[in-house]
Every structure is written in C-alpha cells, then in structure tokens.
Structure 1
Amino acid sequence: MESTLIAVDTAKLVFEVAEAGGTGRVSRRLRLNREQFSQYLAQRTPASFVLEACGGAHHWARRMQACGHTVRLLPVPYVCAYRRRNKTDRADCLAMLEAAKNPEILPVPVKTTEQQAIQGLHRCRSAC
C-alpha cells in the first residue's frame, strides 16, 4: 500500500517518521538519523510530507521540495491541540497526521534562506 501522507518530527540527531495510508492509519514508523533521513528523502518516490513549522523545518522542507516531494508546514500551536499524550517524537507525528486532515489549519509557507535571514535580523533588532 502506497503511503499518501508522511509526518516527520525533526530533531537534532533523530527524525521520527510516520507514514499513513489513504485510510489515515499509520502503516509504517521509522526512527532515522540525519544521514539515513537524507537517503530516505532521495530514494522515496514523490509523496506529501507534513512537519511542524520551525526554523529547521524550513531547511528540511526545501530539501524535500528539491527531491520532488510536496510539503506542508503546520503551525505548532495547532498541532499541539491534537497531541493526545505526553510530548514525544512519536506522539508529535501522530498529532501532525491528525492536524493535516483539518482543512481549517492553514499551512505556513516555506521560507527561503534569505527570508529566514531577514526574519532573524528583525528579531535581533526587536530584542534590543
């Protein structure tokens, strides 16, 4: 069965991946390091990915798009509402899959490196 939606919880060292089929049930779970995750993206047929929007997620979203995948970045507060238990990587992936089903949650646009640099500059200036 081909997966239709893949949720990825990014971290510094380990990436939690949950693949869901057309019924919405999780069909496969993976725990990959950075190198394995890069290989996974390159070898995977084009698919839809969903991530929580953060600085690192924009980097991985750009890499996913370069490999031909479609990416949705969801705002963190909306994903948190779908988490059922303690905050773990696995629970975050399941929450992302649930939140992705809600059409009222608008995705965050993927930022370029230049846009992220300007945003960081604005945040530094506003902190003074």
Structure 2
Amino acid sequence: MPLPQGGLSKILNETRIGAYSRITGLTVKTLRFYHERGVLVPERVEVGSGCRYYDQRNVDRARAIVVLREFGFGLDQIVEILRECGEETQVVRFLEQRRESLIQAISRDRELLRSIDRIIQQNGRCG
C-alpha cells in the first residue's frame, strides 16, 4: 500500500471510522451519511476497501457539527456556517439569527397557549 502524502506520521494521526465514532459520539451510520452529504468528509478513503480515515481536524469539525445540531441548525445551515465561518464573529452572527428565530417561535407558542386557555375558560372542561 503506498503511503499517503505526509507519510507514516500522517497515517499514525488518522483514525478509522469505528474509533472516530467513539471519539465523536456520532454513529458510524451518521458519519457515512455526513460524508455522503459533504458535511463531514474523511481525510482519506482507502481505495478498494472504502475504509474512511479521519484526522484531528475532522474531530474538531464533528464537535462543531454536534453543537450546532443541538442548537437546532439543519445540515444545510451547518454546511453554510462551517464554510463561511473562518472567524468567531461569523459564528456569533449565525447564533444571533438562530436566537432571534427561537424568540419568534416562543412568541408564537405563547400566543397559541393564550388562545387555548381562552377556549378552555369559555367552554369549560370536557367530560
């Protein structure tokens, strides 16, 4: 097997998909899906076996993806954020947009709850 560019030290710093799954907390299935969607591309894929290898840069990106998913961003948004956000200030801009979106959703939900409460009070309880 020919060594990848960077030689033996590069191979020693790469992690196979199973171990990478344990490191990141993402399932192997999710990692494959993210690879197919271009969200989290492995450092290299072994020709023939198709084995995926990830490096530290991929770990940092995976952690960012997990956090952004927890904040409610979709994969397309995450791809955009990671592509555009070379600086922390750009990440903050996306988080501010998400925050505003959540505030609007909470406001709509509160209004919906008030409407439901009015109907309950006007009509009494069922039963």
Do Structure 1 and Structure 2 share a fold, with TM-score over 0.5? no
Tell me the TM-score range normalised by the shorter chain. under 0.3
Give the number of the structure whose residues are more often helix, by fraction.
2
Of structures 1 and 2, the one scoring higher in RCO (CA 8 A, sep 6+) is 1
Task: Report which of the two has the higher share of strand.
Answer: 1
Normalising to structure 2: TM-score of the pair?
A: 0.27
